Structure 1
């Protein structure tokens, strides 16, 4: 850790005895994370509104997609930065930059009407900072609680995401209605700003040697020394990246887990985004019907997060993750064949429950299986798969539905998602993986 990071050398037993949902340190981290994510939701509402008001729909679409390119290109490098500087420092710096950038654009919109160029620059800056922010956010939970509480923390994090999604949209719309895009940007910046002092107050725990999962190969320095990256003070960022990628490739749990995550996201993102809209239009459910289906999915995902937050541990995590993935795949395929919107909402609730459970267990296993010295790079690879590659399935799903209809595409997507479950079952070490107590 860096000299400026607050470190609390706490006895391992004392940390384990404090459940995450009763730990003030974890709750401060959760409040900061939720405030930042809610600010993100308001920001995207403000950006889309301002872009539509300042240009054509095609130009607005370009502005909204600008952030995706730097995020995808720089994500792996962001993981290296998170491991080198420490995730807490990187998250604090990233949120500060995001806050100041959004507030600067808000001030510009209050004073003048500059057109699309500042919005495009804002989106580009946000995507660039996100490439560093997302790996650090993923690596931070392991530094604020014990390994035994990480499953509960994943559930709490899921609740924060659901809260931000449910509350952020209406708040962003209200801010736009009251004061226009400038007011919405200012509100988003203030929400993100709330996270900074909360993160500063979060204490970072030392990572004892026995926090490294048993049976995992150490993060090599490339010369066969077997030293962890935390003790390696030399080497270039490119060298660090290659070390991290090699570590994932050789890991008996993380390698198949990354493949399972990729297949699950590729099969899930298309149907639950573009596909659901086209399905609702085809069946005549309308916007309200699609809202009920999305609400069912959100409720199911929220229930899964609540279950993990309260329970704190799931026995036989590898098996449960595999069967939840397989069950969710069946439910995704069934969405295209349900007779009415009520049944579709019920199936969507099941999809959300099973997908939320498998996703949270993937995150918990990633956190507990990875060497903490490499966790930023591991999180970067997982984030790149979910946010960089999986969205590519959306235009493909739309084109395929136009050519073949909703039924075949949903079934195909379900099969791809189900392959993730079979990968888990076929990988012995992942199938037998357990979460620490």
Structure 2
């Protein structure tokens, strides 16, 4: 664990329960997530109406590749620049993209080119925005309050995303792509205003040295090689979704189809996943474990068992497993993200966050394809067993690590 340079405290944060500025930031961010979900629905719906299914799929996924290419550059910028300025700049650019798309569509019907432009531009903005946004928690709250912050922020984000998705279908039906773009532009504008006027860091993070971006990226990977605790956390967080993503993204649909349960069962499973994730995240506020990392990794062992359970049994056992997977995902994500923010050298926090996100962007398509291939050439339970078993096996490394077994974000008094 790197403790080379501790953050400098600029002001004393209020107690978490009374920190109104922090609560307002969480609410504003959730509102922005609702706008994003609304825009995603509008983009996908417009793409389906404008192009063939294959081209529509390409449009929806178009932001992934440029985001993956630029993400490491965004991590370097996050580690050597003012996070607030980076976040404001790229939210302003997002507003510009949305306004440009809305004006274009007002003048002429949407085209594949315009939709691709919007998806790619958002992907690039995300690649610069997210690494800097990932350092904000460490600038606002004490290490001991990071799990509570993560629990509340993740719960609010999930609720915002669910509400945005629900509203998005109605809005695009009545106001089209223009109305959806306008609403999302408003949410980004609110984020910019809040950051500019009210969001002020309480802890000053160490900054990385000024050097070429490529040298900065190389130094980030070298940091992984010399800091085993950080390396284990990055590997764990990079692989969090690679086992569960295909199981719930493809596997649940395959089971519902093969068993003849109907599309309504798939909707129920997805709802239980979301409910479980929200409850798992918010439970950290009420029942905080003494050793956060240890509890988080054990939760992922239970999640691995839940993934295996998805491949067998009637609908009610699958529904139960889906709820358990959601609950353990929300619980572990909060605890491990807090551990990550509290223990990674703050001069490398942006780059380490970029590497964890890069794992999802690059490896998730491979994991999805592999799950589907296994399901097509073997019995449907086989990929569930393999992916769930892999999740359990991967947890052996962090659970056997003495540092993680003893680590507590709030020192014992």
Indicate conservation of the 8 Å contact 2:238/2:355, yes or no: no
Matched, 1:202 2:199: yes
Task: Tell me which residue corresponds to 1:359.
Answer: 333
Deviation of 1:264 after TM superposition, in Å, equals: 3.1
Matched, 1:10 2:11: yes
SS at match of 2:215: helix
Aligned equivalents of 1:391, 1:309: Cα separation in 2 = 34
Deviation of 1:114 after TM superposition, in Å, equals: 4.2
Matched, 1:66 2:42: no
The number of residue pairs the alignment matches comes to 403
Matched, 1:258 2:234: yes
Task: Tell me which residue corresponds to 1:314.
Answer: 289
SS at match of 1:113: coil
Indicate conservation of the 8 Å contact 2:291/2:407, yes or no: yes
Indicate conservation of the 8 Å contact 1:302/1:356, yes or no: yes
SS at match of 2:204: coil
Matched, 1:110 2:106: yes
Deviation of 1:275 after TM superposition, in Å, equals: 1.4
Task: Tell me which residue corresponds to 2:254.
Answer: 278
Deviation of 1:93 after TM superposition, in Å, equals: 1.6
Change (3 A) 1:145 1:382: same
Indicate conservation of the 8 Å contact 1:260/1:419, yes or no: no
SS at match of 1:204: coil
Task: Tell me which residue corresponds to 1:153.
Answer: 149
Aligned equivalents of 2:307, 2:235: Cα separation in 1 = 19
SS at match of 1:378: helix
Matched, 1:395 2:369: yes
* Structure 1 residue corresponding to 2:159, chosen from 156, 163, 167: 163
Change (3 A) 1:241 1:380: same
**How does the TM-score come out when normalised to structure 1?**
0.88
**How does the TM-score come out when normalised to structure 2?**
0.93
Deviation of 1:274 after TM superposition, in Å, equals: 1.4
Matched, 1:80 2:81: no
Indicate conservation of the 8 Å contact 2:86/2:128, yes or no: yes
Change (3 A) 1:168 1:122: same
TM-align CA RMSD? 1.9
Aligned equivalents of 2:122, 2:408: Cα separation in 1 = 37
Change (3 A) 1:183 1:95: same
Moved more, 66-75 or 427-436: 427-436
Indicate conservation of the 8 Å contact 2:246/2:367, yes or no: yes
Deviation of 1:8 after TM superposition, in Å, equals: 8.2
Indicate conservation of the 8 Å contact 2:101/2:181, yes or no: yes
SS at match of 1:435: coil
* Structure 1 residue corresponding to 2:383, chosen from 384, 391, 409: 409
Matched, 1:185 2:181: yes
Task: Tell me which residue corresponds to 2:28.
Answer: 32
SS at match of 2:15: coil
4+ runs deviating over 4 angstroms: none
Aligned equivalents of 1:31, 1:199: Cα separation in 2 = 13
Aligned equivalents of 1:93, 1:262: Cα separation in 2 = 27
Indicate conservation of the 8 Å contact 2:207/2:346, yes or no: no
Aligned equivalents of 1:114, 1:317: Cα separation in 2 = 48
Indicate conservation of the 8 Å contact 1:67/1:123, yes or no: yes
Aligned equivalents of 1:92, 1:169: Cα separation in 2 = 25
Task: Tell me which residue corresponds to 2:306.
Answer: 331
Aligned equivalents of 1:262, 1:90: Cα separation in 2 = 24
Aligned equivalents of 1:142, 1:422: Cα separation in 2 = 28
